[in-house]
């Protein structure tokens, strides 16, 4: 310092700090030679605390308010600085202003994946990140344990240490909680509370308070996410048959997007064959409507009361059919009787017929058991 600074310091008798930053935790008030005039005014604002240090020893800690630095106002200072006789010359001391507001939105996260034992997936690797808030609750401890003689202490000077502390305790807390990986998203708040309570005393050893800890995300590696997505897709389609139908539809859509290409034609053909095979299987197993199953000829599938299994349709020739003639039901007729009705022109393939087990009247030509009746006989042999 030059002579001008020394002279300027003699006239300045107001000690205060107005913080124009958002990340300064401790600021040391600078004076030439650390000389403070007897009777100087000290202003400590809300959200601050002032710590007097004389020759490396803390003299006093002042809460918000305005103070006049005299013997009668600061008995602790008078004892430490030997002011017992009212010595009124300047005294040498350091004043540290400690910012006691909350520092929020500080980041934490795992540098490397954490290995966990999961009940469903076995060993699993997860990453996590979030935010936390911290404030100084014991300025004296904070200066003794962390700040030391740093005259401008920023929050990033301690954030790395706090982040490592949170990450370490997070790993232990998650491992002990035994929460499945798929259920962690529903327990972010509980995890934050558990970790906060566990590391709160450790923050207290630094003179700090952990005001809030939030878990924003817990994620698994991309390969595991892909496997989970496939598993979710399979669960959404319900069963394998529906999943194959879904895949067929996707293939058809892909083929339609390039109808002129050979690949598109091949995809479309393959998808068509797959869909046809699927539909054939469904037709062979019988359709269902309203909780009932029906044969292809319109007859209801009968089930065995004991086993609940479907019974085959009755053998041909065993059924007797009613025939609708002029809006009236006639019959029942056996297969031979229906042949006679067909021969005399009383019925045709479009005539409606019904037998026991059928849900409704069906055209005779659509009943598989009667199909033989309507086949065209071969023409007569002409001799030359």
**One domain for residues 215 and 279:** no
Hey, what are 5's tokens? Answer: 């600074």
In a domain, 143, yes or no: yes
Check residue 82 and give left, alpha or beta (phi > 0: left; psi -120 to 50: alpha): left
Consecutive H or E run containing 157: helix 156-177
CATH number at residue 358: 3.30.1490
pLDDT value of residue 97: 95
**One domain for residues 134 and 94:** no
**One domain for residues 215 and 107:** yes
**One domain for residues 95 and 115:** no
Last residue of a domain, one of 99, 127, 143: 99
Which residues, in sequence order, are CB contacts of 288 under 8 Å at separation 6+? 294
Mind listing the pLDDT tens digit for each residue in 327-367? 788 878 888 888 888 888 778 888 888 888 787 888 888 88
- Per-residue DSSP letter, 135: E
In a domain, 383, yes or no: no
Q: Are 333 and 355 in contact (CB under 8 A)?
A: no
Last residue of a domain, one of 42, 73, 99: 99
Mind listing the pLDDT tens digit for each residue in 51-106? 988 777 787 888 999 988 775 556 555 555 554 444 455 667 788 999 999 999 99
Mind listing the pLDDT tens digit for each residue in 267-314? 555 555 555 555 555 444 444 444 455 555 455 555 555 556 665 555
pLDDT over 90 (residue 136): yes
In a domain, 256, yes or no: yes
Last residue of a domain, one of 43, 65, 99: 99
**One domain for residues 118 and 87:** no
Which residues, in sequence order, are CB contacts of 359 under 8 Å at separation 6+? 292, 294, 298, 299, 300
In a domain, 379, yes or no: no
pLDDT, mean of residues 203-208: 94
User: Domain residues for 244?
Assistant: 238-285
Mean pLDDT of the chain: 75
**One domain for residues 89 and 144:** no
**One domain for residues 198 and 266:** no
In a domain, 305, yes or no: no
In terms of Cα–Cα distance, which of 229, 163, 239, 232 is closest to 202?
163
**One domain for residues 244 and 215:** no
Report the domain count for the chain.
4
In a domain, 273, yes or no: yes
In a domain, 162, yes or no: yes
**One domain for residues 61 and 127:** no
The reported pTM is 0.54
**One domain for residues 112 and 143:** yes
**One domain for residues 217 and 107:** yes
In a domain, 230, yes or no: no
* DSSP output for 222-270: HHHHHHHHHHHHHHHH-SHHHHHHHHHHHHHHHHHTSTTSHHHHHHHHH
In terms of Cα–Cα distance, which of 282, 280, 302 is closest to 293?
302
Mind listing the pLDDT tens digit for each residue in 3-59? 444 444 444 478 899 988 889 999 998 776 667 777 788 899 999 999 988 777 787
Q: Are 25 and 137 in contact (CB under 8 A)?
A: no
Q: Round to whole Å and give the CA distance between 42 and 69.
A: 7
**One domain for residues 89 and 109:** no
**Least confident range of 119-128, 168-177, 242-251, 372-381:** 372-381
């Amino acid at each position: 310092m030059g002579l001008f600074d020394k002279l300027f310091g003699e006239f300045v008798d107001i000690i205060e700090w107005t913080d124009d930053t958002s990340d300064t935790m401790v600021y040391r008030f600078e004076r030439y030679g650390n000389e403070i005039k007897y009777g100087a005014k000290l202003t400590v604002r809300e959200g601050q605390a002032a710590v007097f240090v004389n020759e490396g020893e803390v003299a006093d800690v002042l809460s918000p308010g305005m103070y006049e630095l005299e013997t009668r106002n600061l008995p602790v200072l008078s004892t430490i600085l030997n002011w017992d006789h009212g010595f009124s010359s300047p005294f040498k001391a350091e004043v540290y202003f400690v910012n006691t507001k909350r520092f929020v939105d500080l980041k934490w996260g795992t540098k490397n994946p954490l290995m966990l034992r999961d009940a469903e997936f076995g060993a699993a690797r997860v990453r996590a990140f979030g935010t936390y808030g911290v404030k100084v609750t014991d300025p004296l401890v904070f200066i003794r344990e962390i700040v030391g003689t740093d005259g401008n202490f920023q929050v990033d000077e301690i954030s790395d240490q706090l982040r490592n502390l949170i990450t370490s305790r997070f790993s232990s807390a998650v491992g002990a909680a035994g929460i499945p990986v798929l259920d962690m998203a529903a327990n972010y708040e509980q995890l934050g509370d558990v970790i906060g309570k566990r590391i709160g005393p450790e923050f207290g050893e630094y003179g700090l308070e952990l005001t809030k800890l939030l878990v924003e995300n817990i994620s698994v590696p991309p390969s595991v996410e892909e496997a989970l997505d496939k598993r979710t897709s399979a669960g959404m389609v319900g069963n394998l048959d529906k999943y194959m139908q879904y895949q067929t539809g996707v293939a058809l859509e892909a083929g339609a997007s390039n109808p002129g290409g050979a690949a598109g034609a091949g995809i479309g053909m393959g998808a068509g064959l797959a869909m046809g095979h699927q539909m054939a299987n469904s037709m062979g197993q019988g359709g269902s409507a309203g909780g009932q199953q029906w044969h292809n000829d319109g007859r209801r599938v009968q089930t065995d009361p004991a086993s609940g299994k479907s019974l085959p349709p009755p053998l041909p020739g065993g059924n007797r059919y009613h025939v609708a003639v002029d809006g009236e039901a006639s019959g029942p007729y056996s297969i031979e009787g229906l042949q006679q009705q067909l021969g005399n022109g009383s019925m045709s393939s479009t005539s409606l017929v019904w037998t026991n087990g059928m849900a409704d009247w069906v055209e005779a030509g659509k009943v598989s058991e009667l199909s033989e009746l309507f086949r065209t006989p071969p023409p007569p042999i002409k001799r030359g």
